[in-house]
Amino acid sequence: MEDHGPLRSFGRLKSRPIKPRQAALMEALLPEIRVPQEAFDPRALMPGAAEVWLEIGFGGGEHMAAQAARRPEVLVIGAEPFLNGVASAVRHVEEQGLSNVRLHDGDARELLARLPDACLDRAFILFPDPWPKARHHKRRLIQPEVVAELARALKPGGRLRFATDWANYADWTLERVLASGLFRWEAERADDWRRPPLDHITTRYEEKRLGDCAPVFFDFVRR
């Protein structure tokens, strides 16, 4: 990824005071499960991990924690700049006793830049901020340079799942991911993207249906 100066995460990084218990976990547990601040090999974080997954923008951490609990042999790395979401995720990790979760409390693009080539088996981008106004589309996470970085970090055959409940963002993402030539989309019928994948975990945010369409799920495969 080219160096364009410091990255800027748009939107609020904190919305309300963090609850005392979560604040205590942020002080005590987060430093233990935070990913390194320099380039690193994810496999070194959990030797013997069967796979390495990345969730970008994990929100409150519900999906990330549930996937990690379901697959304890998989290292799950999560990235989220929103501090309240990080606090919530740390609580999930502690309450469920998850030893296979590592967190980056910052912009996912910073994390991607520190990952080696072909180190990820799966990546999730679920219901990212849609920035629905046209003048804000440049703030959307899905941009050609991010698609290229995801392709670089994913192994050949690795999978990228994108979900949104905003029709324009669905079209935007499909166009940019396929235009990269780095991924293929294996959907054969409408149900392949209209219905949640079998291993999907619905979160409270998704249930709110804040978008303008029913949830759309795209599973892309790294060429």
- What tokens were used for 58? 């994990």
- Angstrom distances, CA of residue 176 to CA of 140, 142, 182: 12, 8, 10
Q: Which of 162, 167, 206, 168 has the alpha carbon at shortest distance from 185?
A: 162
On whether the CB atoms of residues 223 and 156 are closer than 8 A, the answer is yes
On whether the CB atoms of residues 93 and 128 are closer than 8 A, the answer is no
Backbone dihedral angles phi then psi of residue 139, each to the nearest 5 degrees: -85, -10
From 41, 105, 121, 129, active-site residue: 129
Verify whether residue 129 is a known catalytic residue: yes
Residues forming the active site: 129
